[in-house]
Structure 1
Amino acid sequence: MNAFLTGVIFLVAFTATGNSLDCVHCYSNDGTDCSGEAITCTDDMTHCRTITSEIMQDGDASHQVFKFCAEPEEHSWIHREELSTTVFQLESQICNTDNCNQGPGQITPRDNTPNGVKCKHCFEDHSSDCETEETRECTGDMNKCLFMSGLLCYNGKDYYDCTHRICTNIASPEQHPFYNDFVSGDIKKLEVTEGISDA
């Protein structure tokens, strides 16, 4: 699972022409802030966007941040996944004034309170499936179960197949931040289901 999380790569197009909004464009894989020049977005890019990731593993946190121009239909959102001792959070912030994304990216603290929902809980390297009877109680707003398989893991050079079943806070596959990788076929399976409730 660590290979998957540390191999997270955001496919972001950095474009800069036109006479519209100015946004900071930069990237850092070490922290929640980065500095870069403010560029003028194209006319169809009417917002500035900051995407911040946090991987919390065994109590240690690591962060990445991207800042760039965004399309008008973009909105702010938070995506969370939890597996064993690892929590992955991705947060997108949208604003629409010049250089409004120049500050640090935000990671909204998660609620660690068990919510009564359980999900099957497994991870398999070099596999297209993981079957288990083991479950984990989800916390906070993570009240759905996520099953993903495909080119999710990264060994420092190449992506390779792995699979996991985990708790998540999204309601449908289309809300997953890597849904486009499912459409392209790099992610083979992406399913969001109801959790196992004791009630």
Structure 2
Amino acid sequence: MTSLPRIVSLLLVLTAKSAALSCTECMSLTSSSCSGSSVTCPADYVCQAEYMETDGIKTVIRTCAPSSECSMNGSMSTMYGKVRTIILCCSVDNCTASLPSFPVPTPVSTPNGVTCRSCMSDDSTWCDTSDTIQCTGDEDMCFLRTTQLTGSKSMDDGQSALRGCATKSLCDFGPV
């Protein structure tokens, strides 16, 4: 009978480790904080907070994400401006990853010899242009970032594309 408590303890430990995490899901396009509803994440996901700063405007997106999409910072530039990003995660129900102190370290503004096309589309997942920008600092890669929103929160047709210069860390991070 002494093995029954051990079996129950083992089951409790295994159940606790596989339990899904609850995270707050929200977005603020004008602030560095937001609040929203709690959602149950898929197994092995964590709570993610993406903090962005564009021309002094701070934005935050909180959601569930795989742990492989954590701990990233970088920047991207287009002819329309520069966006600096930090992505942080935490793994306790409805936690909020610590807000970094803004601004993210200012990238060097010295040209680095890389030239990239720069365009934006707010109604398509593609943009192409002959317009270019000179990349600066450690933004030494060209990028194309596309967005396809679905569900009840989509605006207009929910598609956009942005092209310009980016840091390697942002390009290596993959789709966001």
- Find out whether 1:114 has 2:110 as its counterpart: yes
**How far off its partner does 1:142 sit?**
0.8
Letter of the 1:92 counterpart:
I
Q: Secondary structure at the match of 2:31?
A: coil
Among 57, 81, 86, the residue aligned to 2:81? 86
Kept in 1, the 8 Å contact 2:52–2:60? The answer is: yes
For the aligned residue pairs, the C-alpha RMSD in angstroms reads 3.8
**Number of residue pairs the alignment of both structures matches:** 149
Q: Secondary structure at the match of 1:50?
A: strand
In the TM superposition, what whole-angstrom CA distance separates every residue of 1:66-98 from its partner, at most 9, and x where no partner exists?
222322333221242112351123331112234
Q: CA separation of 1:75/1:104 partners in 2, compared to 1, >3 Å: closer, same or farther?
A: closer
User: How far apart are the structure 2 equivalents of 1:25 and 1:131?
Assistant: 38
**How far off its partner does 1:23 sit?**
3.1
In the TM superposition, what whole-angstrom CA distance separates every residue of 1:74-126 from its partner, at most 9, and x where no partner exists?
32212421123511233311122344316546652332342633314543769
The worse-fitting range, judged by mean Cα deviation, of 88-97 and 115-124 is: 115-124
Q: What TM-score do the two structures reach when normalised by structure 1?
A: 0.54
Q: Secondary structure at the match of 2:30?
A: coil
Letter of the 2:34 counterpart:
C
In the TM superposition, what whole-angstrom CA distance separates every residue of 1:24-73 from its partner, at most 9, and x where no partner exists?
33322220111245x474461442110123222xxxx3232122232233
Equivalent runs, 1:46-57 vs 2, <5 Å: 46-56=45-55
In structure 1, the residue matched to 2:128 is: 129
Q: Which segments of 5 or more consecutive residues in structure 2 lack a partner in the other structure?
A: 1-17, 149-154
Q: Which segments of 5 or more consecutive residues in structure 1 lack a partner in the other structure?
A: 1-17, 179-199
Please state which structure has a larger fraction of its residues in helix.
Answer: 2
Q: Rg bigger for which structure? A: 2
- Find out whether 1:67 has 2:62 as its counterpart: yes
User: How far apart are the structure 2 equivalents of 1:46 and 1:128?
Assistant: 32
Q: CA separation of 1:101/1:83 partners in 2, compared to 1, >3 Å: closer, same or farther?
A: same
User: How far apart are the structure 2 equivalents of 1:151 and 1:99?
Assistant: 26
Q: What TM-score do the two structures reach when normalised by structure 2?
A: 0.60
Letter of the 1:143 counterpart:
D
Among 151, 168, 182, the residue aligned to 2:166? 168
In structure 2, the residue matched to 1:145 is: 142
Letter of the 1:112 counterpart:
V
- Find out whether 1:97 has 2:92 as its counterpart: yes
User: How far apart are the structure 2 equivalents of 1:40 and 1:151?
Assistant: 22
User: How far apart are the structure 1 equivalents of 2:64 and 2:159?
Assistant: 31
User: How far apart are the structure 2 equivalents of 1:150 and 1:20?
Assistant: 29
User: How far apart are the structure 2 equivalents of 1:97 and 1:50?
Assistant: 13
